[in-house]
Amino acid sequence: AQTVTQSQPEMSVQEAETVTLSCTYDTSESDYYLFWYKQPPSRQMILVIRQEAYKQQNATENRFSVNFQKAAKSFSLKISDSQLGDAAMYFCAYRPGGDADGLTFGKGTHLIIQP
């Protein structure tokens, strides 16, 4: 069974600084997808960024980028120029390729932005 581990229950960063959230996963599959979701106090689950395992290039979405290390099974999220609106729970998630639908989530990292 796949597992996703987020080892940082909470992180704090100064506004405008850069922060990196860690995620490791365990799988025997070669085809899979990785995601970061943001859950603000509204509880909405918002897709931040995704990475396909077959792509070597790290995904980037504006201030958000990932460091995907396939051999190490590591998938960290970097947030540049942190803003107060980035404060939220961040969840790393894994999904195998093909028709499999279920996302396996990590326990989450609570990100605090200090003004």
Partner 1 sequence: EAQVTQNPRYLITVTGKKLTVTCSQNMNHEYMSWYRQDPGLGLRQIYYSMNVEVTDKGDVPEGYKVSRKEKRNFPLILESPSPNQTSLYFCASRGHPAGSQYFGPGTRLTVL
Question: Is 55 a residue that touches partner 1 (CB under 8 A)?
Answer: no
Residue with tokens 């980035």: 86
Find the binder of partner 1 among 43, 57, 71, 85 (CB under 8 A): 43
Question: How many other C-beta atoms can be found within 10 angstroms of the C-beta atom of residue 63?
Answer: 13
Beta-carbon contacts of 40 under 8 Å, excluding residues fewer than 6 positions away, are 46, 85, 87, 88, 89
> Quick one: which H or E segment has residue 40?
none
Q: Which residue number, 6 or 82, has a Cβ lying nearer to partner 1?
A: 6
Least Å distance, CB 88 to partner 1, is 14
Interface positions with partner 1 (CB under 8 A):
33, 35, 37, 42-47, 50, 52, 91, 95, 97-99, 101-103, 105-108
